[in-house]
Structure 1
């Protein structure tokens, strides 16, 4: 099972110069999958613009730049609003003059419980976090890719579109899948590819910035454990994936090696198709 090196060094496997002379914007880059993707592309020659709502993204950018020598800019942004997404895209353009590749990672389950236990405001927050962050980001990125006469958008979805105890999150990621396939139809004639991966359960260090409250009480812990159990049972390998195993297919789809792939959502979940 590949482990990768994460923030502490170069990835275990990478392709030098695969992103040479390309500007790559990555959202959700301060932690988890976004950080693993940023680390890999930095060692593959890309110019990076890292975005997160947490100030931690600045520290991450400095650390990756010191180890890889990559040219890296960064910004904090509230991607739950179009204004935040537009400011992010403009900041990248101000730094590098263009966007060649946009990788949208922001999202994640806030609560874990059966649907009948979600309050209306919790449903809205889940959809805002895991659908609108991608929808607004793509809306801000797309005109700039068109102006640059082509580029690539990679969205990060989830196989949890078929999963227990997180229906609002599943619906949101279903929206990301639909966004990807529908926009690919429109954008192809403008030389813009739109693709996605759908990760399964992924091993990662404890988050420095939490997505939301953790399970409290025995009932909430059981609801969350049901997600873990289903995730493992649905994988043919009966395990979670690693950050490196998630980053590798994202980076491939973002690269020019995948130039004839668009509209696809690739499950990366040990055989779980979602």
Structure 2
């Protein structure tokens, strides 16, 4: 799943302000998973490192905003809850090396990482499926700070097509090919019911989309040059149910033979297989 944003870090002011307002909005962005993954793939960065990059960058933004000009690997590692050795290895994958006894220059690191991740650009995004989830995503205000902008909304329901959601008119899915090309969309979100996920993916790929975030709770098949990240909310909830059940077992002890426990799993079966609608 996509990482949840960190709470804004408030740190003591320790030095001259590292990044002036003149550096622009691009340097204050946090990359989306799709943007990070594509940039990292091109540079051969390990996937485990990719997963930590947004957290590093957000911590660096907070440091810069609070006037911190340099940071040691240990200080930055403590902020993002990883080991200093892991952080140094991750940053070395990007070609960033600190100075012994000084640490990393925050502004330089932010600039270099933002450049590597392509955050000087806005990436247009299309959302297909404007049900409850699709509408929530269309209203989400965090896209702009992550280098993304909503370019188009699509749905197949005649009652939804033509309505306006957060300033965007909902178009019929038949218009995907034309609008994706016109608006240079390469990233799309599928928020349809599961039964429509594969057909929606096929339409998007044929239109030129090369990165897909799928909330439909169904696996989709795509060509090798298309990146897909799947977010199955039901599976994530089941995993949480497992952990809650384990906590209960630790407190209550093993269940006696023949005793049924419907606690943590009860109700989850009703969620499995549900679409994103």
Q: Quickly name the TM-score band, shorter chain normalised.
A: under 0.3
| TM-score normalised to structure 2 length | 0.26
Kindly name which structure, 1 or 2, has the bigger radius of gyration based on alpha carbons: 2
Bigger relative contact order, structure 1 or 2, given CA contacts below 8 A and separation 6+?
1
